[in-house]
Amino acid sequence: MAGSSTAPHFIASVLREAIYRGILPEGRPLPQAQLALRLGVSPIPLREALRLLETEGLVSFQGYRGARVTALSVEEAQELYEMVAALEANLLRIAFPRITLRIVGDAARVLDRMETERDCIGWRDLNQMFHNLLYEPADRPLTLDVVARLRQKTDRNIRIHLVSMRDESQRQHRGILAAVEAGDLPAALEALVSHLTYTSNDLQSYMRQEQGPRRRR
C-alpha cells in the first residue's frame, strides 16, 4: 500500500507536535498499546514512528520498560545552540553572494506573517522558513539537514519562552535581513550570531525556571 510507507511519518508528526506542545511531557512513558489505540493505528507503524523520533532525540527506548519522551537539560540546550550558531553562520557566509532581491522579499513576507502568527508551532515553522530562505543559496543540503535536526531538539521547548522573546526576536530578524539587503556580510553575521545567542539565553532562563520546581518535588 502506498500509504503504509508514509504512516510512520504521519504518526511521528502527530507525536512530535504533542511533545512540542507539552501534551506529552519530558520523561513521560509512551505505552505503545495505549498510543496505538488512541491514534487508531496498528503497533508496527507506531513503533516505526517512535524510532523516527528516537533519531531526532525526542524519544528513547529503555529495554523492557519501552519508550519515553526524553528530557533536555539546560546544558544540552546551550551546546545545541552553540552548534546551531556555528553552522548557520557558515551557511549564511557561503550563501551571501547568491542571495537575490527576490529572496530578500520572500523573507520579508515571512516576517510579516510571523507578526500575526500566535500559535507556537506555526511561528516555529515560519521562523525556520525565514532562516532557510537565507541559507538555501549556499547549496549545502547536508549542513541544512544537520541544522534542522539540531533545531528539532531545541524547538521542543518553543512553547515555554516564545511569548517573552517573540517581539525582540522579530526585531533581530529584521536587523539580519536589513544587513543582508545592504550587502553587509560582517553586520549580517554579527546580527545572526547575536540573535541565536539571545534565543539560547532566553530558552535556558525559562528552562531553569521550569526545571527548578521539578528538582524540589
pLDDT at position 216, please? 43
Residue range 116-174, pLDDT digits in tens: 999 999 999 999 999 999 999 999 999 999 999 999 888 888 888 888 899 999 999 99
Alpha-carbon distance of 135 to 95, in angstroms, equals 6
Average predicted confidence (pLDDT) for the chain: 91
Q: Which residues contact 16 (CB under 8 A, 6 or more apart)?
A: 53, 56, 58, 152
pLDDT at res. 191 = 98
Distance of alpha carbon 133 from alpha carbon 111, whole angstroms? 11
CA-CA distances (angstroms) from residue 174 to 65, 103, 105, 165, 181?
47, 14, 12, 14, 10
- pTM of the predicted model as reported, rounded to 2 decimal places: 0.85
- Percent of the chain having pLDDT more than 70? 94
Instruction: Please write the tens of the pLDDT for every residue from 13-30.
Output: 999 999 998 899 888 899
Strand partners, 68: 29, 60
Domains of the chain, earliest start first = 2-69 (1.10.10.10), 74-216 (1.20.120.530)
Assess whether pLDDT exceeds 60 at residue 215.
no
